[in-house]
Amino acid sequence: MQTVDFDKLYEMALGVAKPRTLSPHTEVGAVGAALLTDSGAIYLGANIDTACSMGFCAEHAAAAAMVTAGENHIVAVIAVNHSGAVVPPCGRCRQFLAQLGPENSKAQVMVAKDKVMTLEELLPFDWREA
């Protein structure tokens, strides 16, 4: 398993976790994410919350930036709220990231301070293997 500098990823994710209001019905930045790919690139994203639930998580934003840049092999990911707490990915994010590339099940995910798991461990009964 590749060694990952989660301290660096943490700082980068925290750097985009800056809550702000875009409109009376949309807030962003309560959570920031940093996603490391096998090329060594790091992609960042912030969550978007809308009043009618059409927003998305910070991990989705980071993954969209990654795919836009032509990559899909995730090595590591971390999400951090604006207070600095590590936030494990929700079930939707876990499944989304895993489906972006066949090797992504081995991606390292920081789920709590000093606790790292793979996407495979977070999705133990993958429906694609049924």
Q: Which residues are catalytic?
A: 59
DSSP helix/strand/coil, 89: coil
Which phi and psi (to 5°) does residue 44 adopt? -115, 155
Q: Residue with structure tokens 């793979």?
A: 118
Residue 19 and residue 46: Cα distance in Å, rounded?
A: 9
| DSSP H helical ranges for 4-104 | 6-16, 58-68, 91-99
- Two tokens, residue 27: 């807030």
